[in-house]
Amino acid sequence: MKVYGVVNVKGGAGKTHAVVHLAREASLTRRVAVLDLDPTRQSVNWIELAGLGIPALAFDIKQSDLEAYVTQLRQEDDFDVILIDTPANDRDAALETLMVSDIALVPVGVGTSDTGMLGTTERQVKRAQQLRPELKAYILINRARFAPARERDTVTEALKTGFPVLDARIPLRGEYQAAAGKIPAGLHYGEVWKEINR
Ligand SMILES: Nc1ncnc2c1ncn2[C@@H]1O[C@H](COP(=O)(O)OP(=O)(O)OP(=O)(O)O)[C@@H](O)[C@H]1O
Ligand SMILES: [Mg+2]
Q: What is the pLDDT of residue 111?
A: 79
**CATH, residue 24:** 3.40.50.300
How many domains would you assign to the chain? Answer: 1
Q: Which domain holds residue 108?
A: 2-196
CA distances from 23 to 88, 102, 163 (A): 20, 16, 23
Q: Alpha helices of 28-173 — where are they, by DSSP H?
A: 42-49, 66-76, 91-100, 118-131, 148-160
Strand partners, 33: 82
Q: Which atom of ligand 1 is nearest to the CA of 13?
A: 21
Tens digit of pLDDT for each residue in 122-173? 999 999 999 999 999 999 999 999 999 999 999 999 999 999 999 999 999 9
CA distance 198 to 193: 9
CA distances from 87 to 17, 54, 93, 175 (A): 13, 20, 7, 23
Cα of 76 to ligand 1 centre, how many Å? 33
Taking CA atoms only, the protein residue closest to ligand 1 atom 30 is: 177
Percent of the chain surpassing pLDDT 70:
97
Q: What is the pLDDT of residue 31?
A: 98
Taking CA atoms only, the protein residue closest to ligand 1 atom 6 is: 177
CB 143 within 8 A of CB 170: yes
Q: Is the pLDDT of residue 114 over 80?
A: no
Average pLDDT for 101-126: 89
Q: What is the pLDDT of residue 142?
A: 97
